[in-house]
A = this chain, B = another copy of it.
Amino acid sequence: MQCNATQDSPFSAMTNSNLQQIGLVGAGLMGGSLAARLARMLPGASLLVHDASPGNAAYVAERHPNARTVAGIADLAGSDVIFVATPVATIAEQVIALLRLPDCAAIIIDTGSAKRMLVDAVAKAGVEAGRFVPGHPLAGGISAGPGRASGDIITARPYVLTPTDSTDPAALTSARALLERLGAEVVEMAPVAHDRLLALGSHLPHLIAYALAGLGSECPDTLLPTSYRGIAAFAGSDPQMWADIFRANGTELKAVLGEFKKRLDLIAAMADEPEPGQLLDSLRDAKARIEALENDG
């Protein structure tokens, strides 16, 4: 798997103090968390919040010193930056609509968990997309909704940016500077590299959890051991969000699922061998990898 992650930050000529108005489309867990960091780090910039649920938008706006809700994305046209933090299935249409807004020069940054389908949809729309910087904060958890939002979800966590050939380098530099100001650790990689990383590191693990949770036992639940509980607990995440993600990153998810099933079968076949040596070596290799991962942080 090719990663191409680069973590060197170019110097940004844009200072965040230039920012006067920031737009936010989508006031859920991630939108609310971004708003919390914006309130803390750029309290002078006004924040305009739109959400399909007016209650969510109001909830987030009330917690920011300089925010108000707006009825539609057209009201965001005068923003310097607009974050799109809606469910992954609707991000493309929001980004395309924002790019088509007349008299809008805002840099647009999204938070979606699948990138290739998004950048393909934007490219296919035939809209000038230089101001769009596709991104994804590797953050969050089992909770959903603005009530669980917290600036801590963004701080010191990776925020992957996946620019394409269409992305304006100046927009990328500005997006990076703003996200770093919010405390995120910005990483750049290609959209497909992101989708493969997330397929392995997040989408397959959640698919595993949903599949395991779907296998019932006829024994009392109290007898199910901690390893089952620990893994299946990830199926407590929001079904709508995960249905969207599995659909949006289906190609990479199916590829890594195929590798995973091969590995399961390989270990099971080793357990059938007359001698335990090969199985033991394989489990030792996996343990060594996990220990290295835990040491790397």
Chain A residues engaging chain B, CB cutoff 8 angstroms: 1-3, 5, 7, 138, 141, 158, 160, 187, 189, 193, 196-198, 200-202, 204-237, 239-240, 242-244, 246-247, 250, 253-254, 256-257, 259-261, 263-264, 267-268, 271-272, 276, 279-280, 282-287, 289-294, 296-297
Contact = CB atoms under 8 A, between A and B. Distances in A.
Nearest to A224: B201
A289 to B, nearest CB: 5
B227 A246 contact: no
Interface SS majority for chain A? helix
29 contacts: A2-B218, A5-B219, A7-B220, A138-B223, A189-B219, A196-B217, A198-B225, A200-B224, A201-B225, A201-B227, A202-B225, A202-B227, A204-B212, A205-B227, A205-B230, A207-B268, A212-B260, A212-B263, A215-B256, A227-B234, A235-B290, A236-B287, A237-B287, A239-B286, A244-B276, A246-B267, A247-B279, A250-B272, A257-B264
A47 to B, nearest CB: 28
Contacts of A219: 1, 3, 5, 189, 193, 197
A294 to B, nearest CB: 7
A288 to B, nearest CB: 9
A184 to B, nearest CB: 13
Contact of A285 (B214, B228, B287): B214
For A138, A200, A254, the residue with the greatest tally of chain B CB atoms inside 10 Å of its CB is: A200
